[in-house]
Amino acid sequence: MTEKIYTLEVIQPQLFYGPNNEYLELIKSNFPSLKFVARGNEIKISGDEKKLEAFAGKLKDLETYFEKTGEINEHVIHDLFKGTENKTLHLASAGQTLVIGTRGQKIAARTGNQKALVQAAGKDDIIFAIGPAGTGKTYTAVALAVKALKERVIRKIILTRPAVEAGENLGFLPGDLKEKIDPYLRPLYDALEDMIPGEKLKSMIESGTVEIAPLAFMRGRTLDNCFVILDEAQNATNQQLKMFLTRMGPSAKMIITGDLTQVDLPRRQESGLRVALDVLKGVKGIAVIRLTTLDVVRHKLVKDIIKAYDKREPED
């Protein structure tokens, strides 16, 4: 048995260990045959020499990632120490700040698949971002759209959703058409309000620079020189999604987000998103990014909730 002491010089101990030592425990779980004793910036590890060398290599990769991005999180720890360091390090450059938020916060892709989404947006014109709730699909897409608008790559942002209710009916809601529809589009407003000051956003909506509308309002239009995001696409019918995709003008970019585990369409109606993913498989210029529970950036319980529901057998 060999014993070595590793000194944390690049990464501060509190960042390396994580909240309540969560990151250290995650690292230890990937090297179950090694014994760890961590004190301050020193980690004493004993075990097989080859395993110690493997750990040292992973630690070096983590330090390289930290030097590039200035961040560490459980997703990075998982990727690097599970053997996908090449992909993770390659995606580090995609983790650069997209926009500065209204509270001065830096908004950037935080997980491996979010960074893959950013990379795909740089080379493909249609991107499908598929994954469970809380994985940052919509938020990352909106950040990309705001970035493109600020850099004058496009003239307009269009955000749209199918107005499909889960257990409610639009007709039972009070108010005019806009007031009935706004609750369904609220998540898009929330993301925008994180990135564009209130008065400016209001002015941009009034001028049409930012448009937020139900999917049905896209029919018959040509969407050009704009960044278009279709959110909750699992609730679009096959006809609606085909209609939407064929609105695309020559200078447009589209991101379609959806979660195929949360389809609110009538039971016998097939999700247009599911059909599109099958029909468009392999088409050049279309990318599909699949996010997982590892990409969940909400409360840590969200990840456990999703896993628990995934284990449950579907109802008859």
Share of the chain above pLDDT 70, in %: 88
Nearest to 82 by CA among 4, 20, 7, 26: 26
Q: Per the structure, how many domains does the chain have?
A: 2
Query: Which of 45, 71, 91 finishes a domain?
Result: 91
Pair (60, 83) in one structural domain:
yes
φ, ψ for residue 247 (rounded to 5)? -80, -10
**Residue 181 has what pLDDT?**
63
Domain assignment present for 316: no
Tell me which residue of 231, 238, 223, 255 sits closest to 163, measured CA to CA: 231
Whole-number Å distance between alpha carbons of 140 and 163 = 22
pLDDT value at position 227? 96
Of residues 188, 269, 177, 194, the one with CA closest to residue 230:
188
Is 241 among the domain residues?
A: yes
Residue 316 has pLDDT above 60, yes or no: no
Whether 129 and 223 share a structural domain:
yes
Same domain as 102, residue 72: no
Specify the DSSP element, H or E, that contains 79. helix 74-81
Higher pLDDT, 181 or 13: 13
Q: Same structural domain for residues 78 and 183?
A: no
Residue with tokens 């993913």: 277
Range of the domain at 180: 98-311
Pair 198, 68 in one domain:
no
pLDDT digits (tens, 9 = 90+) for 122-165: 899 999 999 998 899 999 999 999 999 999 999 999 999 887 65
Domain end (from 32, 59, 91): 91
Q: Mean per-residue pLDDT for 230-234? A: 94
Domain final residue pick, 91, 122, 140: 91
Q: Are residues 37 and 66 in the same domain?
A: yes
Q: What is the pTM of this model?
A: 0.70
Between β-strands 42-47 and 35-39, what pairing exists: parallel, antiparallel or unpaired?
antiparallel
Q: Does 21 share its domain with 129? A: no
37 & 166 share domain: no
Residue 23 has pLDDT above 80, yes or no: yes
With a cut of 50, say whether residue 168 has pLDDT above it. Answer: no
Domain holding 73: CATH number? 3.30.1370
